[in-house]
Amino acid sequence: MPTATINRITIEQGKRSGQPCVRGLRITVWDVLGWLGAGMTEDQILDEHPDLERADFPAVYQFAAEAGRRANLN
């Protein structure tokens, strides 16, 4: 995973039960993917969650892709 992408996804023990979050926010990778899956656009998500940045989306996608690859190896 590119370093810029890795740095945007954080995992902290006491935050959101240790789930992967976007830049230390309380917004998880899975929150963002769920909103997209429910039909929201990136622009709509950014409007509703102004702490997110457009550059966070590729990080979320990359993290999810890597997680999926790891799951298939197990």
Q: What is the pTM of this model?
A: 0.86
What are the extents of the domains in the chain?
3-67
Q: pLDDT under 50 in the chain at which residues?
A: none
Q: What is the third-level CATH fold of 3-67? A: Arc Repressor Mutant, subunit A (1.10.10)
At residue 24, the pLDDT reads 93
Type of residue at 12: E
Judge contact between 28 and 19, C-beta under 8 A: yes
Comparing CA positions, the residue from 29, 3, 5, 2 lying closest to residue 16 is 29
Helices (H), 9-55: 29-37, 42-48
